[in-house]
Amino acid sequence: MSDSTETTLLKLSQQLLDSIDQQDWEAYTRLCDPNLTAFEPEALGHLVEGMAFHEFYFQMHPTGRPKQSTIVSPHVRIMGNCAVVTYIRVSQKIDADGGAHSSASEETRVWQKQTGDWQHVHFHRSIPS
C-alpha cells in the first residue's frame, strides 16, 4: 500500500474524532461498521459490541463549548484489507468557567476495507498512567 493509503487512513481517523467532538452521530455511523467492537474506559474493562453503547454518549446534550482532538505520533500498519492506526489523542476543551483543559489518551483504531471503502471495525482507548 502507498503513502496515500496511510494519509487516507489518518484523515479518516481525524474525521472520526471530529464526529465525536462535534457529537455528529450521522458522520460517526458512516465511518463505523455496525458491529464495531471496543475496549474503552467507559466500558469498565469489558468488550463493547455494536453501536448502542456509543450512541448513548452522542445523545447527551452538547455543552456548546468547543472541543477538539489532535492526532499525535501516528503510526499506520496496513495488512491486506485491514489497517491498524495507533496514536496519542490530545483533547482540548473549555470548561463551564471558560478555562482550557487538555487530556491525552492512547488509541488504536482498526480499519477494514469493505466494498471499496474503509470502515472502522474496532478500537482500544486507554488513559496513560
Distance of alpha carbon 123 from alpha carbon 111, whole angstroms: 9
Residue 2: the pLDDT is: 65
Residue 54: the pLDDT is: 96
Q: What is the pTM of this model?
A: 0.93
Please give the average pLDDT of every successive group of 10 residues along the chain, which has 129 residues.
88 97 95 98 97 93 81 98 98 90 97 97 95
Residue 40 sits in which domain range?
3-126
Number of domains in the chain: 1
- Please check whether residue 85 is in contact with residue 76, taking contact to mean a CB–CB distance below 8 angstroms: yes
Is residue 8 classed exposed, middle or buried when 0-12, 13-18 and 19+ CB atoms within 10 A define those classes?
middle
Give the CATH number, domain containing residue 15: 3.10.450.50
